[in-house]
């Protein structure tokens, strides 16, 4: 149980275009989802925390107008990278917190497989 | 500020034992996770400690001392597939997950 999917798994786009990444909890409801970014050989960097039905909370230094997050349902959150530039090329990972899910630890996060974005 | 320290990189031999340490200074404590991350993949859950002591799960064990702000992950009978980064993460008083930078473990035959 507690599977999180991401789509697409990889995407190549041209500079100036926008890219949408979907994160879905497949077998549980996720009131909270997280978006991370990870550059090569670096650790996870939390970008924003997304709660269903409310605005996302962005970490310091993350541009909310550039990284649009929508969490419209308990099983889906989307991250849209607007006007992408080569420096946005990275590995984007979402996770979902499954509070109350049988067999999970309190505040455990389940990760999606990640989306590798390359902006040319 | 909040801080989690782990060694950047460690090397061990196949079949041996390795201990990866993690020290933390956070605003409150509500548990500590260890995750494994292979290159190009998302992290996967290894262990969770909220009380002092040792939690054993197969070849992997995790230890916690809350008074010392210290945890370690112990990997026994190392296999080549254990080559990965190991991430320590602490849940703070606001129930946010604070991540360490990760320890890259290299296993040599």
Q: Tens digits of per-residue pLDDT, A22-55?
A: 999 998 888 889 999 998 878 788 999 998 888 8
- The 10s digit of each residue's pLDDT in B42-99 is 889 899 999 999 999 899 999 999 999 999 999 999 999 999 999 999 998 887 888 8
Nearest Cα to A80, choosing from A38, A110, A47?
A47
pLDDT at B96: 82
How far off is chain B from A56, nearest CA to CA, in Å?
Answer: 14
What confidence score (pLDDT) does residue B64 get? Answer: 98
Query: What pLDDT was estimated at residue B42?
Result: 86
Q: What is the DSSP string of B8-33?
A: SEEEEETTS-EEEEEEEE-SS-S-EE
Let me know how long chain B is.
Answer: 109
Q: Give the lowest-confidence range in A60-64, B7-11, B39-43.
A: B39-43
Smallest Cα–Cα separation from A4: which of B91, B103, B45?
Answer: B45
Instruction: Find the residue in A nearest to B87 (Cα).
Output: A43
Considering only residues A54 and B14, tell me which one the structure prediction assigns the higher pLDDT.
B14
pLDDT of the residue at B2: 82
Interface test with A, best of B37, B97, B101, B105 (most A CBs within 10 A): B97
What is residue A5's predicted lDDT score, i.e. its pLDDT? Answer: 94
Q: What is the pLDDT of residue A72?
A: 82
Q: State how far the Cα of B97 lies from the Cα of B5, in Å rounded to an integer.
A: 14
Nearest chain B residue to A32, by CA:
B96
Which residues, given as ranges, of chain A have pLDDT below 70?
Answer: 1, 99-106
**Residue A43: per-residue pLDDT:** 79
- What is the chain A residue with the closest CA to B48? A105
In angstroms, what separates the C-alpha of A114 from chain B's closest C-alpha? 6
What per-residue confidence (pLDDT) applies to A79?
97
CB burial string A68-98: b at 16+ within 10 A, e below: bbebeeebebbbebeebeeebbbbbbbbbbb
Interface contact flag, B31 A114, Cβ < 8 Å: no
Taking alpha carbons only, the member of A1, A4, A3, A2 closest to residue A93 is A4
pLDDT score of A100: 64
pLDDT at A3: 87
């Amino acid at each position: 149980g507690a599977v999180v999917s991401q789509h697409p798994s990889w995407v190549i786009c041209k500079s100036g275009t926008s890219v949408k990444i979907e994160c879905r909890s497949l077998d549980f409801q996720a009131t909270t989802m997280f978006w991370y970014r990870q550059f090569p050989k670096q650790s996870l960097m939390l970008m924003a925390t997304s709660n269903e039905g409310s605005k996302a909370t962005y970490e310091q230094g993350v541009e909310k107008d550039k990284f649009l997050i929508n969490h419209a349902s308990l099983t889906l959150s989307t991250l849209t990278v607007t006007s992408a530039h080569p420096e946005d090329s990275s590995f984007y990972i979402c996770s979902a917190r499954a509070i109350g899910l049988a067999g999970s630890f309190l505040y455990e996060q389940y990760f999606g497989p990640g989306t590798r974005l390359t902006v040319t | 500020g909040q801080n989690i320290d782990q060694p950047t990189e460690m090397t061990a031999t196949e079949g041996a034992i390795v201990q990866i340490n993690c020290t933390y200074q956070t605003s409150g404590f509500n548990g500590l996770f260890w995750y494994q991350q292979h290159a190009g993949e998302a992290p996967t859950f290894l262990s969770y400690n909220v009380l002092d002591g040792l939690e054993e799960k197969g070849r992997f064990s995790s230890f916690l001392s809350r008074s010392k702000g210290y945890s370690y992950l112990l990997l026994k009978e190392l296999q080549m597939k254990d080559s990965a980064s190991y991430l320590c993460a602490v849940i703070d008083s606001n129930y946010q997950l604070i991540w360490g930078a990760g320890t890259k473990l290299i296993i040599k035959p």
